[in-house]
Structure 1
Amino acid sequence: MHYSFIIPVYNEESTLPELVRRLTELADRLDAPCEFLFVDDGSSDRTLPLLRQTHTQDPRFCYLSFARNFGHQLAVTAGLNHVSGDVITVLDGDLQDPPELVIEMIDQWRAGYQVVYAQRIKRHQEHWLKRFYAYLFYRLLKRLADVDIPTDTGDFCLMDRQVVDVFNAMPERNRYLRGLRAWIGFKQTAVQFERDSRFAGDRKYTFRKSFSLALNGLVSFSRVPLRLATYTGLLAGLFSLLMAGLVFYWRFFGAGNPLVGIAAIMIAVFFLGAVQLVSIGILGEYIGRIYEEVKGRPLYILSEVAGVEGVRSATQPTSTTEG
């Protein structure tokens, strides 16, 4: 038996030395061999040269390097595709996910749980607005999703080999991994922790990226937006019939009303137009995902590989794109 760790990194040159140090200390405390697979998501700083140097000094530290930035979820996916351990842990490279928590997660795995996810009970040094958005989103997703996705959880988790094999059998492109983790099932439990602030550097998940991930999670695991468009259309139709009845009454039986005329017509037109555009936008989100799936392009392209057996980088004579 041995342990595998997947660490997606993007422009983490200032954090990488401390991360490697803490992972090395963690490996010394574990009861089986370890491999640490870094996935460089197209970094533009010195992250990749540092990964090369680290691999030369300690072969346990392997890496995959993307040909460009494909995103955090696909970086984790690439790691899941290529690790060989019996127990696999996914954690971020900014040290907000404390590696030392893995000891407690392994204890839960030994107790019989096949998925052990880290659940945040506090976020240090994060803006109150971001904490509010995160709180609101997780509870909205839990209420609307077709599966029970735990609140306040990220991608920091430990999984059994059987669970990872199921992950790797899923071909879908628009991935919300914490949702897929809940959808898969198996015996799961939480380990609570306080999320640290970034060790160094700037945060990589901007508001736009966070919103895109949230939207992806909502669309991937809920059909409620489609139903909402239907219900809104029915409500608009009912409202239009009510307005038609009122206009008919005011014109023929009332003494006149300011709502009768061009103002009422314009309000109805703008209202119905807004409903149609929103409904088309919701349909577009789902159709766009179908379009991405049917194109059949690889999920990611590797440009450089070190320490991972059976995988060629795109720079070698026989190139391989992994998906």
Structure 2
Amino acid sequence: MKKISIVIPAYNEEGNLSIIHGEIKKVFLNLPDYDYEIIYVNDGSRDATQKTLEEISSNCPKLKYLEFSRNFGHQNAVKAGMDYADGNAVISMDADMQHPPTMIPDMIKKWEEGYDVVYTIRKYSKNISFFKRKTSDFFYHILSSLSDVELEKGSSDFRLLDASVIDVIRKTGETDIFLRGLVKWVGFKQYSIDFVAADRFSGSSKYSLGKMIKFAFTGITAFSMKPLYLAAYLGFFFSFLSLLYIPYVIYAFINKTEISGWASILMTVVFFGGIQLIILGILGIYMGKIFKQIKERPNYIIRSKNF
């Protein structure tokens, strides 16, 4: 009998755990040929998430949990679940019911057809705001343009990975993990399924605009050197542009024309100063990633677990 591991990161999700746990159990009642386990990763929650997991696990041997010593982030929580999963395939999904458990049979079916990776493409319902749609599309456009992996608009962390793919991901020693890009990068035989994201059952979204921007930078710098090349190109471009100013300076010197316009000079200095800071920032991001990598600190610390 094949075994499916369900990995669910949870950060302040006490109101959702019982619901999603019950829905997953219903799904596998209709899949009698498969054994399963549900691994919840408590990512340093401040509410009663851990207490709820302990209560559910006391009545359900299929439930396993990992409790982090603090909040290490969504991607590290998913990676931890993958590290401890022992199924023939691993499905990662969120705890807020936006990733519908009813899609699990479809994902398993495609896996049985020979696909190593079955990932999902999120389609927004009509009640999602225009701003949310456009910022999401912009996020994936920038990510695909500046990184060396191409992500479809709406790619999510709701996916099924064969055990062979999980083994490859486990061996990666990256500190800033970007699983959407990493899954694309490893290759294998992949298949996508569209789904309409449901509303959160309880609680609020943990991804603010600031976190999304940080997430984008993590993805871009994890899989591409393009920002560094862009910084170099900007340097060459503005250096060439400054050469065009030389004839005017010579003309003004010969004709003893007074060079006025302190405002324009100030704006020029500020502009080029901004460009330099951007370039230094890009270099700083890459240097920071190297700094974190060479220290070889663990991506997460487990405070407790029940298996």
Q: What is aligned with 2:173?
A: 171
Alignment size in residue pairs:
305
Q: Residue 96 of structure 2 aligns to a residue in which SS? A: coil
Instruction: Indicate the RMSD between aligned Cα atoms, in angstroms.
Output: 1.6
Q: What is aligned with 2:292?
A: 292
Q: What is aligned with 2:13?
A: 12
Q: What is aligned with 1:320?
A: none
Task: Please say if residues 124 and 133 of structure 2, whose CA atoms lie closer than 8 Å, have aligned partners that are also in contact.
Answer: no
Task: Please say if residues 247 and 260 of structure 1, whose CA atoms lie closer than 8 Å, have aligned partners that are also in contact.
Answer: no
Q: After the TM superposition, which of the residue ranges 169-178 and 221-230 deviates more from structure 2?
A: 221-230
Task: Please say if residues 88 and 159 of structure 1, whose CA atoms lie closer than 8 Å, have aligned partners that are also in contact.
Answer: yes
Candidates 204, 209, 212, aligned match of 1:210: 212
CA distance in 2, matches of 1:51, 1:261: 68
1:1-323 correspondence to structure 2 within 5 Å? 1-30=2-31, 31-123=33-125, 125-252=127-254, 256=257, 260=260, 262-263=262-263, 265-306=265-306, 308=307
1:64-97 deviation digits (Å, cap 9, x = unpaired): 0001111100000100100000011000001100
**Change beyond 3 A, Cα 1:264–1:247:** farther
CA distance in 2, matches of 1:101, 1:149: 21
Shift in Å, 1:215: 1.2
Q: Letter of the 2:171 partner, please give it.
A: A
CA distance in 2, matches of 1:251, 1:197: 68
Task: Please say if residues 41 and 65 of structure 2, whose CA atoms lie closer than 8 Å, have aligned partners that are also in contact.
Answer: yes
Structure 2 length-normalised TM: 0.95
Question: What's the % identity of the aligned pairs?
Answer: 37
Q: Residue 232 of structure 2 aligns to a residue in which SS? A: helix
**Change beyond 3 A, Cα 1:217–1:297:** same
Shift in Å, 1:148: 2.5
Structure 1 length-normalised TM: 0.90
| Structure 1 residue runs without a partner (length 5+) | 309-323
Shift in Å, 1:182: 0.2
Shift in Å, 1:304: 1.0
CA distance in 1, matches of 2:129, 2:288: 33
1:182-237 deviation digits (Å, cap 9, x = unpaired): 00000001011111111111111122222111111111112121111111111111
Q: Residue 57 of structure 1 aligns to a residue in which SS? A: coil
| Structure 2 residue runs without a partner (length 5+) | none
